[in-house]
Structure 1
Amino acid sequence: MDPLARTFVKLLAFDFLSLRYQPHPHGFCSSGPTFSRKGRSIFRAEAVGVVVERERKEGFLRFLVDDGTGCIPCILWLNHLSPSNRSSYLARRNPSDLELAAKHAADQAEGVQLGRLARVRGRVTHFRGSLQITVSCVTIERDPNAEILHWLDCIRLATQCYDQPPPRR
């Protein structure tokens, strides 16, 4: 398996928005849709940018992160931990852990405000034909250099790692 499949790939918006849908060779894949960049599979992504749009609904927060190369749509689910929406997997978990996770998601949503610099990590997904990041973690950056440092990381990683062919077994 490609090592990129297990990590949060640091991407600029123009790279993220150019990801291609890669159908699973045997039809349905239990891990969800697969996306690729230059032939390498990407499941998770990390982006840094300014929050330029924010829409909070009952069960989710949808927002856009602009890094100067484009805007990445992000969604942070808030209702997946409520008792009415719990999957059988979540039903087996400790209720106090679920309460902590729900509080953490709500705290993250409160931090996402217009004009703030945010670091977003999550799964690459699509909704109605558009790419998005389904957020697992969002951090509000206090360092004004975080965005340019992310840019430099993206450029370095693209040339030294992401653009290289996957290792052979």
Structure 2
Amino acid sequence: MFSSSQLDGFTPSQFANSTPSPARLSRETQGLVPATVKMISEASQSGDEKSNFIIDGVDVANVTAVGMAFNKNSRPSDIRFQLDDGTGRIECIRWVTEKIDTKEMDAIEDGTYVRVNGHLQSYQGKKQLSAFSVRLVTNFDEVTCHFLECIHFHLQNSKAQSQGAALAPQRADSSFSTPVRGASNAQQPASTNDFSMQYNSDGLKSFDKLVLNYLQQPSNIDREMGVHVDELSQQLKVPVAKIKDAIEFLEREGLVYSSIDDYHYKAVEGL
């Protein structure tokens, strides 16, 4: 798909000597971590009770990857394909439990660019992704942006390792932080101005956390289609534009993802 010279700039090893701002190393499980296939293939298993993988010293359960789909194989129970991002290939499995799962995969053909959000696992010694979201990439800036996010993730954690940061669980800064479930104020009305500069312990502004809490309610987690931005606007009593700003931030942080279209969103599960 890509030549090695085209993608040398995107492999984590090329940036090990860069000097970004220091970041604290975290062994705490992150949200949705941007990764290349090379990063995934080099991940080691943590060996603890969570059976997560370690990428750049960070416990990782769920990843987001971008590449081209190949060798699509549809079966009644699942749809499998290979994801190639130029750094390697990995098998992806989308289990078919609802009609919406089949509809999502109908648009995916061999040779199309896709974004896969999924749970990283190992089967018979080979790593694979159990996908909970697969969607077409329609803006190719997304491919470049994804690789930049992978570079950023690698740099902020490898820099902390090189500085001898302690491996005790702590936040690696606000990026890719883990959602916190069960807040009781998820549906309380809030004015736009109430949350302008308030941050809580996990680095989220209060309004962003309010949106996340609503998406993390069990009834919303169980909704296959996700929650529409209009519903969030009505329930939280703020303009749709404010909701979209919060969603955009949470999506960058790897805490939520779009489901059937750009108006329906779900919180990341399995943390």
- What is the TM-score when the length of structure 2 is the normalising length? 0.48
Residue 120 to residue 16, structure 1, CA distance change in 2 (3 Å): same
User: How many angstroms does 1:109 deviate by?
Assistant: 1.7
State the distance in 1 between where 2:28 and 2:91 align. Answer: 22
For residue 168 of structure 1, report the CA deviation from its aligned partner. Answer: 4.8
Is residue 52–residue 61 contact of structure 2 (8 Å, CA) maintained in 1?
A: yes
C-alpha offsets along residues 3-40 of structure 1, whole Å, 9 cap, x if unaligned?
7624111001110111112222xxxx3x5x21112332
Q: Measure the CA separation in 1 of the matches of 2:158 and 2:99.
A: 35
1:17 equivalent in alignment to 2:17: no
Q: What secondary structure sits across from 2:147 in the alignment? A: helix
- Rg bigger for which structure? 2
- Distance in 2, matches of 1:39 and 1:160, equals 11
Q: What does 1:68-107 align with in structure 2 at a 5 Å threshold? A: 68-78=86-96, 81=97, 102-107=98-103
Q: Choose the corresponding residue for 1:38, options 46, 50, 56.
A: 56
What's 1:98 paired with? none
Q: Is 2:120 the partner of 1:124?
A: yes
Q: Provide closer, same or farther for how the CA distance between residues 159 and 167 of structure 1 changes in structure 2, counting only shifts above 3 A.
A: farther
How far does residue 163 in structure 1 lie from its aligned partner after superposition?
A: 5.4
- Conservation of the 8 A alpha-carbon contact between 1:119 and 1:138: yes
Q: Partner amino acid for 1:73? A: E
- Where 2:68 maps in the other structure, the secondary structure is strand
**In the alignment, residue 126 of structure 2 is paired with which amino acid?**
S
Greater length-normalized contact order (CA 8 Å, ≥ 6 residues apart):
1
Task: Determine helix, strand or coil for the equivalent of 2:29.
Answer: helix
Structure having the larger proportion of residues in strand: 1
What is the aligned-residue RMSD (CA, Å)? 2.0
Per the TM alignment, residue 162 of structure 1 is displaced from its structure 2 partner at its CA by 6.4
**Structure 1 position 46, deviation (Å):** 0.5
CA distance in 2 between counterparts of 1:114 and 1:9 reads 25
Is the deviation greater in 155-164 or in 36-45? 155-164
Letter in structure 2 aligned against 1:64: Q
Shift of 1:137: 0.6
2:80 aligned residue (36, 46, 62): 62
2:141 to 145, 154, 159: 145
Which of 125, 130, 133 is the matching residue for 2:129?
A: 133
Gaps of 5+ in 2: 1-25, 171-271
Query: SS in structure 2 opposite 1:5?
Result: coil
